[in-house]
Amino acid sequence: MCTLNLSEYDTFEIEKITTTSFPATTIEAHGASVPFCKKCGNQETQVFLKNGNKYCKRCFLIILRHKFRATLSKSKSVHTNDSILVAHSGKANSTLLLHLITTDTNESISKKPQFSFKVLYVDDGIAKGRSIKERESIQSALAKEAENLQFSTYILPLSNCVTDSICEEMQLVNVPLMNTTSENTTVQEIFDNLENDTAKDELLQQLRLKLLVSAARKLNCNKIFIADASVDLAVKVLGNVSTGRGSQLPFNVAFSDRRYEDVTLLRPLRDFTRDDITGYLECYNLHPIFNCDKYNSSFPASIRNVTKNFVYKLDSEFHSTVPTIYRTSEKLATKRMECENNNTKIDDNVDNNICVLCELTSNSSYLSKEQPSVAQAKLFSKLVSTVADTSLNMATNSLNIHELSSNEQIKSTNALKKEKHQCQSDIHKSFLKQSIIEKYLCYGCRLIFLNSKQVDSILPNFISNAIQKKSQIAHLEKEISNFLL
């Protein structure tokens, strides 16, 4: 069976997808003499996989349904009374996931799960440069799909992330989009001020996740289904390492992501291959809202997109590439996980050192003060090589600013100003603003706003509010520390 296009499903297709959207997997495409099904041995083969296995349509669908249900059952993360929010992207993975959930056949292994499901689509067209007409057409397609699925489907514009209340009102997909010109303009300015495609792509991924979690809380959902297949996880493994998020791999690629106390992220399609997705869509004649043939990535030069193309091409030649990558990631664990497994006490400062954007703990929090992290070493090297006429001690003091409280940061920065010439004072004024912001971001999130124009003015409101709140708490703790026993 042929695989999907090397590109992902990012281009919207308004017209009906033709029958050539997916490669043929029928008997006619492989000649008249076809062996029998590998599983039942009775019916003729209709599905040809890349690994050489051949199945009839019925057995192939049973295998996929069993794989889906086995992934959920063996983890013991989903319970009968759970309310689940399904993240719908309009791509092939999400289309397959929704159809798996709604499928109710006579097979005993494919009984419909008794959970409460709701669907959410995050409208990120404003960041990807889609026109109003395209976004309205996408919403119409979602409304039609929601009517067939009989699920409560909501749509949440990306512009909600710049408002004071991220999910104040949830909007059903069959309701016309509200006119939010000012918020859309703000989102466009944020992405325009970012330096490169990688920063834009990373920020978009983090904002989408933030909206998903906020919507789940608003809709009283304690689980979120994310349609990440095995190839998506393989791309995440290499992409996260390349963008400074290597310590976050155990959360970003695991089946169960428990970074939030009240909401758990689950990836039930993590064992599905590209062959599985293509074959399933062909068997049921399903057409994703976004066509995979018309590839027009909004961030073609991003590290994630380059990594995706590399993994897809390598996997087309060596079929064990994807399993090797994402199975290896399962063996990775953070220092925090090791401490929890060994019942080791964790320092209270670790929980306070949470990134306000991705809400993951910085890996440097588990290192001793004498042992600098990779991020600190890189920052030190940057200060030494870029700041002119500055002594080594001054660069070291600048590095330590990130680990101090807000009041101590101001004092340390003022001390550095006195040691330098008056003409260099503007450098430290801008360094002070950026250092306070970076203090509450992990290394990967810092890179998003690196070298961007006016970092303090382009931050979404929820980030600015979180930084301000944490700064005030740190200030109060400093003031009352002398009065505590």
pLDDT of residue 239: 94
Work out the average pLDDT over 97-116. Answer: 66
What is the pTM (predicted TM-score) of this model?
0.78
User: Which residue carries 């949440």 as its tokens?
Assistant: 156
Tens-digit pLDDT profile for residues 349-375: 555 688 999 998 865 555 555 555 666
pLDDT at 194 exceeding the cut of 80: yes
Q: What is the rounded distance in angstroms from the CA atom of residue 273 to the CA atom of residue 67?
A: 11
Least confident of 138-142, 185-189, 415-419, 421-425: 421-425
Please tell me the predicted confidence (pLDDT) of residue 341.
53
What average pLDDT score do residues 416-440 get? 54
pLDDT tens per residue across span 141-192: 999 999 888 888 999 999 888 876 666 667 888 877 665 677 888 888 889 8
Query: At 440, is the pLDDT very low, low, confident or very high (cuts 50, 70, 90)?
Result: confident
Summarised one tens digit per residue, pLDDT across range 27-66 is 334 444 557 888 787 777 778 787 778 888 888 898 999 9
What pLDDT shows up at residue 425?
Answer: 38
Q: Does 11 score more than 50 pLDDT?
A: no
State the chain's mean pLDDT as an integer: 76
Instruction: Look up residue 17 and give its amino acid.
Output: I
Both tokens of 90, joined, read 């309009």
> Which is nearest to 283 in space by CA: 272, 291, 292, 275?
275
- Band of residue 21 on the pLDDT scale cut at 50, 70, 90: very low
CA dist 458 and 445 (Å) reads 14
Give CATH superfamily name and number for 77-332: HUPs (3.40.50.620)
User: Judging by beta carbons within 10 Å of its beta carbon (0-12, 13-18, 19+), is residue 36 exposed, middle or buried?
Assistant: middle
**Where do the structural domains in the chain lie, given as residue ranges?**
77-332, 350-363+433-484
Q: What is the pLDDT of residues 259-299, one digit of tens each?
A: 998 999 999 999 999 999 999 999 999 999 887 544 456 78
pLDDT in tens, 287-298: 998 875 444 567
Q: What's residue 335's pLDDT? A: 56
Cα distances (Å, whole numbers) of residue 103 to 190, 194, 284, 422: 41, 43, 11, 71
d(C-alpha 71, C-alpha 79), whole Å: 13
- Give pLDDT, residue 215: 93
Residues 6+ apart with CB under 8 A from 201: 299, 302, 303, 304, 305
Tokens 């306000």 found at: 356
pLDDT at position 369: 52
Q: Any idea which residue has 């430290």 for tokens?
A: 428
Please tell me the distance from the alpha carbon of residue 266 to that of residue 355, in angstroms, as a whole number. 21
The lowest-confidence range among 190-199, 310-319, 379-388 is: 379-388
Per-residue confidence (pLDDT) for residue 232, from 0 to 100: 93
If one compares 394 and 444, the residue with the highest pLDDT of the two is: 444
What pLDDT was estimated at residue 461? 81
Predicted pLDDT at 380: 66
pLDDT over 90, % of the chain = 25
> Which letter does DSSP use for residue 159 in this model?
G
Mean predicted confidence (pLDDT) in 232-253: 91
Is residue 364 left, alpha or beta, with left meaning phi > 0 and alpha meaning psi from -120 to 50? Answer: alpha
Q: Which two tokens stand for residue 303?
A: 């590290």
Tokens of 153: 């489907």
Is residue 10 scored above 50 in pLDDT? Answer: no
pLDDT for the residue 318: 86
pLDDT at 386: 66
Structure tokens at 329: 């990631």
DSSP assignment of 137-203, as one string? HHHHHHHHHHHHHT-EEEEEEGGGGGSSSTTSS-EETTSPPP--HHHHHHHHHHHHTSSSHHHHHHH
The answer to whether residue 475 scores a pLDDT higher than 90 is no
